[in-house]
Structure 1
Amino acid sequence: MPEIIRLAFKYKLWPNRKQEQAMRNFSGCCRFAHNALLAQEKEEYQEYLEELESRLCWGEALRKDEAKALCVKPTLNQYTFN
């Protein structure tokens, strides 16, 4: 089995005040976008659970295409933010 060699580099940033503020703004925007998408996904999941519960309570059968539409939910991934 071949030996794996891993290299790592550490960098230290010394931004000035303007650059530091720009980095804080960028990370704040990323955090806001992530939290908004996460809240949307949680809301959609709750709607999904409510729909399933209501159908089970009323004894309604799901057609195959309805079940697929209910079960397929978008998930957060690295491409969502693009």
Structure 2
Amino acid sequence: MVVVEKAYKFRMYPNKKQQELINKTFGCCRFVYNKYLAKRIEVYKNDRETFTYK
């Protein structure tokens, strides 16, 4: 059996408004990720339990 893998590369050239929206979106994602990572670490240190995202 032959498996063929393909990859596509795209280059984006966002305008200023789009770039601002992209930066805000990634900023929000980073904030939420770091917030819950800190919470997981805290819960594990205090209770030795795993805090999941469910």
Listed as ranges, the gaps of 5+ residues in structure 1 are 50-70
Q: Return the structure number with greater relative CO, CA threshold 8 A, min gap 6.
A: 1
Q: TM-score, normalised by structure 2?
A: 0.88
Listed as ranges, the gaps of 5+ residues in structure 2 are none
In our comparison, the structure showing a higher alpha carbon Rg is 1
Counterpart residue number, 2:35:
36
Q: TM-score, normalised by structure 1?
A: 0.60
Where has structure 1 moved over 6 Å in runs of 4 or more?
A: none
Amino acid at match of 2:36: L
RMSD (CA atoms): 1.5
Aligned length: 54
Deviations 1:5-36 (A, max 9, x none): 00111110000000000000000000000000
Counterpart residue number, 1:17:
16
Indicate the percent of aligned positions where both proteins have the same amino acid. 31
